[in-house]
Amino acid sequence: MIDLKNFKSYLNKTESPYGLSAFRIILGSLSFISLFRYIYFGWVEKFFYKPSVHLKYPGFSWVESLPSPYMDYFLYGLMILSFLFVIGWKYRLVAPSLFIGFLYVHLIDQSLYLNHYYLVSLLLFIMIFLPADAALNIFKKNRVEVRNWHYSLLRFQIGAVYFFAGLAKLTRDWLFEAQPMNLWLGNLVDMPLIGGLLDEIFVQYIFAWSGFLYDLSIPFWLLWSRSRPYAFCVVIVFHTFTSLFFPIGLFPYIMTFCALIFFKPDWPLKIFKIDNEKEKSLKVLSPEFKGIRVFLVSLYVFLQVSLPLRHFLYPGNVLWTEEGMRFSWKVMVREKNGSVTFRVRDSDTGVEWFEESHNYLEDYQVAEMSGIPDMILQMAHVIGKKYKKEGRKVEVFVDSKASLNGRKFVQMIDPKVNLLEKKYSLKAFDFILPEPKTKPFKIKPLRKGL
């Protein structure tokens, strides 16, 4: 365990570079697979070429997708960079290029936001500053001894995902209503062998509580050397189940492989029986954890702790208002479905008409936007801009209904508010109506013989 009194000397302690380099290979491979999936499944066309409008991240409205076929070429380029990252060639150049490229792809449209792509982006960012090319690299003759802070920073990042995902489950819905687990598992009756158990309410409570306890505590069990092997087995079992139950793609694999960073840094030597004797004579020390490094790492850690907690600064339930929802590891904590119709009024004539989101957005963008107020606001401005270009003065209102975790749907946004008068800012939105206070409905188990 970490001796807090000598925390700094602990962070500066030299360590085997093999664990870090193995992490480089893992992360590069996951990045490669993520990008390959865009090409393989035809998502480049669907997500980048086809949409006429991209819903932007605040502050990144200038990020545009490349026209066809350049986005394909760009993704192929990123796949090559991922491969170079894996083999460790020109690491100092490849690592930042891959990070910027990966980030660019995922900044184009916020309806494509996924926690695990955000995580991969953060890890690629951290890796820019770490000597992860020190070992398992045929292009490097001198083996660099890395330091404990390199591992600690990555462990912090992976641990933060789990811990804040656990904290996000500390809600009445999750713990005392087993929602949305009841809706998800109750409809998974096709699952072989255990399908019949999944619509039992006690099983749904077991899943909800185990998920909560797992997320909250697993980083600590992985940190403790005595519990680590068992904890890693639990990680494997947990993520195998989540990948079977839920359509969360690469997330379980990313979390399982990334958990290897918690093992002793020389684990690859032991597993793959690599002879390290010769290499010891060539060792070079990496820089110590002091000065500007302490400041930058502390700033990063502060940001990573603040972002998931920022929703406490906003009134209301974050799952309803979505203020502080993104970049905060609120992974799979809500089932929300919305219905949105925009109403445009010509300010001069008073004539009103409906504007269909489908005229601007693809189906998946509409589905994502329908439950998220800041995306609805952005869409209202897209509509407003269209009419402004035509020289018309209009007001845009929205009829927005949403159901949260199985509750009956209610109005989410005040239909009397002209959204063109509202701008995105870090302040709380005043046009979001209060969340439903009722208890969520639970679906009952099905029995044969309707």
Residues 172-191 that bind other proteins (CB under 8 A): 183-184, 186-191
441 binds other proteins (CB under 8 A): yes
| Residue 409 CB partners (closer than 8 Å, separation 6+) | 337, 339, 401, 402, 403
344 binds other proteins (CB under 8 A): yes
C-alpha span between 415 and 411 (Å, rounded): 8
Nearest in space to 95 (alpha carbons), one of 137, 158, 152, 37:
137
C-alpha span between 90 and 76 (Å, rounded): 18
388 vs 408, beta carbon nearer other proteins: 408
Q: Out of 167, 197, 294, 301, name the contact with other proteins by CB under 8 A.
A: 197
End-to-end CA distance of the chain: 58
Nearest in space to 98 (alpha carbons), one of 53, 67, 128:
128
CA dihedral 442, 448, 449, 450 (to 10 degrees): 30
Q: Out of 36, 72, 367, 422, name the contact with other proteins by CB under 8 A.
A: 367
Q: Answer for the pair 175, 215: CB distance below 8 angstroms, yes or no.
A: no
Q: Out of 21, 82, 111, 152, name the contact with other proteins by CB under 8 A.
A: 111
Q: Answer for the pair 207, 433: CB distance below 8 angstroms, yes or no.
A: no
For 29, the token pair is: 């491979």
335 binds other proteins (CB under 8 A): yes
364 binds other proteins (CB under 8 A): yes
For 258, the token pair is: 């990334």
Find the part of the chain contacting other proteins (CB under 8 A) among 133-141, 208-216, 270-278, 348-356.
Answer: 348-356
Find the part of the chain contacting other proteins (CB under 8 A) among 11-19, 73-81, 107-115, 224-232.
Answer: 107-115
C-alpha span between 117 and 250 (Å, rounded): 9
DSSP assignment of 266-314: THHHHHTT---TGGGGG-EEPPPS-THHHHHHHHHHHHHHHHHHGGGGS
Q: Closest separation between CB of residue 163 and other proteins, Å?
A: 16
Show contacts with other proteins in window 146-175 (CB under 8 A).
Answer: none
- 18-40 vs 148-167: helix crossing angle, rounded to 10: 50
Q: Closest separation between CB of residue 318 and other proteins, Å?
A: 16
Q: Out of 230, 295, 363, 421, name the contact with other proteins by CB under 8 A.
A: 363
Q: Closest separation between CB of residue 190 and other proteins, Å?
A: 4
108 binds other proteins (CB under 8 A): no
Beta pairing partners, 337:
403
65 binds other proteins (CB under 8 A): no
Q: Answer for the pair 208, 184: CB distance below 8 angstroms, yes or no.
A: no
Q: Closest separation between CB of residue 31 and other proteins, Å?
A: 15
The mark string for 244-283 relative to other proteins (x by CB under 8 A, - otherwise) is --xxxxxx--------------------------------
Q: Closest separation between CB of residue 339 and other proteins, Å?
A: 4
16 vs 405, beta carbon nearer other proteins: 405
Residue 51 CB: number of other CB atoms within 10 A?
Answer: 18
332 binds other proteins (CB under 8 A): yes
Q: Closest separation between CB of residue 445 and other proteins, Å?
A: 7
The mark string for 385-404 relative to other proteins (x by CB under 8 A, - otherwise) is ----------------xxx-
Find the part of the chain contacting other proteins (CB under 8 A) among 65-73, 80-88, 146-154, 349-357.
Answer: 349-357
Q: Answer for the pair 151, 267: CB distance below 8 angstroms, yes or no.
A: no
Q: Closest separation between CB of residue 227 and other proteins, Å?
A: 26
64 vs 356, beta carbon nearer other proteins: 356
Show contacts with other proteins in window 122-141 (CB under 8 A).
Answer: none
C-alpha span between 114 and 252 (Å, rounded): 13
If binding means CB under 8 A, how many residues of this protein chain bind other proteins?
71
56 binds other proteins (CB under 8 A): no
Show contacts with other proteins in window 15-44 (CB under 8 A).
Answer: 37, 41, 43
408 binds other proteins (CB under 8 A): yes
148 vs 256, beta carbon nearer other proteins: 256
Chain centroid to CA 321: how far?
Answer: 18
